[in-house]
Amino acid sequence: MTGAPTVIDAERGAHTAGAALRVVVVNGSPSQKSKTMGLVEVVLDALRTMLPVEASQVDVYRLGQGFTGATERDDVTPEIEGMLRLAENADLLIAATPVYRGSYPGMFKHFFDLIDQYALANKLVLLAATGGGDHHALVLEHALRPLFAFFQALTVPVAIFASAGDFDGVTLLNPRVHGRIEMALADVTDLLKARATGAQAPADAGTGDGTSPSSDHKSRGPAARKQYDAA
Ligand SMILES: Cc1cc2nc3c(=O)[nH]c(=O)nc-3n(C[C@H](O)[C@H](O)[C@H](O)COP(=O)(O)O)c2cc1C
């Protein structure tokens, strides 16, 4: 598939179009019946009970030659450019992937290789992964979180992992993982509230005296960061 990203629920849950939280899932699984997406479905269902949500999904394995053949942003087709912008403009990015060889799949990384270096600065990113067993659960901390640290994104402190034994097929059963999802989403809503009211959430907190990252470059947008890094 090289068409538009799957729009999961463009209208569902929104009081007004402007009020819906734009959630974009970047899916690193090639599977049609995917445990990773089974996990994400539970996350989105729980999020919809808390907020109006407009969710879209980019399946990196289905983006085709316009994606796999591009090594730089200038090389991508307009269609792929649209997918990249969708992710760059999300209110909440969900980075969800199976573990492959102790890390994320190459195709998942390729998508982020094409994302603008500063476009995810300060963006809320929720990390989720599935693996065959629990041995590689720390892929979230050792591979995914550093990737988004490069982008200066604001990763949600609680990341979500599930392994084969937590599922019946692609249906997530383990209540411990459901609890983890609730914890992660409590962080998401707290951070969103703090942003909306201008209050300082722990992850955003600075000294307020102009010397901390929060009160200097961190609380500004991508353009300010670019300038700061170049200085
Ligand atoms: C090429 C490949 C490499 C894998 N490497 C690992 C691994 O290193 N660690 C692990 O726990 N599971 C590994 N797995 C298992 C998948 O991570 C696991 O089955 C995952 O839940 C599949 O997700 P999906 O159903 O969303 O595609 C691998 C699977 C494949 C196909």
Question: How confident is the model over 87-98, as pLDDT tens digits?
Answer: 999 999 999 999
Q: Specify whether the CB–CB gap between 101 and 88 falls below 8 A.
A: no
pTM of the full predicted structure?
0.86
| Largest Cα span, the chain | 53
pLDDT higher than 70, residue 209: no
pLDDT higher than 80, residue 204: no
CB-based burial, 23-50: b 16+ in 10 Å, e otherwise:
bbbbbbbeeeebbbbbbbbbbbeebbee
pLDDT band at 225 (very low <50, low <70, confident <90, very high): low
Annotated domain spans of the chain:
6-199
Q: Chain-wide mean pLDDT for the chain?
A: 86
Fold of the domain spanning 6-199: Rossmann fold (3.40.50)
pLDDT at position 217 is: 41
Measure 99 CA to ligand 1 centroid, in angstroms.
5
| Residue that wins the pLDDT comparison between 54 and 218 | 54
- Shortest-distance atom of ligand 1 to CA 27: 26
d(CA 122, CA 142): 20
Measure 208 CA to ligand 1 centroid, in angstroms.
44
